[in-house]
Amino acid sequence: MNKLLSWLSIIVGLAFLYLGYYYLTHTAGSLPHYFPGYTAGYDHIHHKHAIASFIVGIALFIYAWFASAPKKKTVASGK
């Protein structure tokens, strides 16, 4: 299950990084109408949306890194 969540978080993380790039390179008027921040005819770039998307993408990569780490073996006490 951890391996599946790791791969899923990597894929979704890549999608959020691309979304952040998309927000930086397109104006609000040229975004698809279902994107948050779309405003018809508006030529403003949503920097805050891009930063938030980058942060979520990086957080998902960090989660995948920690979720895919090998489990620590515990040593039973010799009492």
Per-residue pLDDT of the chain (79 residues; tens, 9 = 90+): 778 889 999 999 999 999 999 999 998 888 888 888 888 888 888 899 999 999 999 999 999 999 887 777 777 666 6
What burial class does residue 60 get, using C-beta atoms within 10 Å of its C-beta: 0-12 exposed, 13-18 middle, 19+ buried?
buried
Q: How far lies 33's CA from each of 4, 38, 54, 69, 70, in Å? A: 32, 6, 21, 40, 43
Whether 20 contacts 58, CB under 8 Å: no
Positive/negative CA dihedral, 60, 66, 67, 69: positive
